Amino acid sequence: MKKIKRYTGSRIVYSKPNQQSILRLFCFPYAGGAASIFRNWSHYLPAFIKVCPVELPRRGNRSKENLFNNLLPLVKILAKDILPHLDKPFAFFGHSMGALISFELAHFLQRENCFSPIHIFVSGRRAPHISDTDPPIHKLPESEFIRELRRLNGTPSSVLQNSELMKLMLPVVRAVLLFAKLILIQLKSH
């Protein structure tokens, strides 16, 4: 496995330089996901695409950062970190909560800096204007919450079965899910 180089101060995580690239693909993970989930994407995409995973607060090498409870401050920080990397055409990919963040970041970059991605790819999320019919899970009692995390199949069983690790992770996962819910509310109010 390749060692991932993390640039200090930036939220953009590169695995290696790619001089052949003519397009940067910024990838935004799901709630609770880290930039590392995109580490192998460059193996499956053409060499002209530079995969640029984005590390969100409280994930990966940013595990000590505070979580956000408002979308706009997060988008402003992400824009500041991404702007130096927009010297080439770029696109966004976001999954689930990452889809919402990339959508709002694209609007912000266009409005404030006159930069636009050539394309936005989203998965695992309805359009912001379509109501979410899933009940929120962040308020469930611990046993039901863990059962729901298991059902969603996004957390390894070994993590869910480790009670010490879950005591550390549950408050973070609940906060991230609450933030995802707040993002939807903020987007609907636009």
CATH classification at residue 51 = 3.40.50.1820
Instruction: Supply the pLDDT for residue 94.
Output: 94
Backbone angles phi, psi at 8, to 5 degrees: -60, 135
Burial of 185 (0-12, 13-18, 19+ CB in 10 A): exposed
* Contact partners, residue 42, CB within 8 Å, separation at least 6: 15, 16, 18, 49, 50, 51
Structural domain range at position 102: 5-188
Does the reported pTM lie above 0.85?
no
Q: How many domains does the chain have?
A: 1
Predicted pLDDT of residue 7: 39
* Residue 123 and residue 168 in contact, taking contact as beta carbons nearer than 8 Å: no
Q: Out of 15, 21, 42, 96, which one is annotated catalytic? A: 96
Q: pLDDT value at position 33?
A: 81
DSSP 140: S
Contact by Cβ (8 Å): 76, 56: no
Count of alpha carbons within 13 Å of 163, Cβ hemisphere only?
1
Q: Is 123 helix (H, G, I), strand (E, B) or coil?
A: strand
Contact (Cβ atoms closer than 8 angstroms) between residue 78 and residue 23: no
Q: How far is CA 11 from the centre of its chain?
A: 11
Known active-site residue 96: yes
Q: Could you list the pLDDT tens digit for every one of the 190 residues in the chain? A: 444 444 345 787 866 677 788 999 999 998 778 888 898 998 899 989 999 999 887 666 665 676 666 788 889 999 999 999 999 999 999 998 899 899 999 999 999 988 999 999 998 877 766 766 666 777 788 888 888 888 877 677 888 888 888 887 787 777 777 766 666 655 555 5
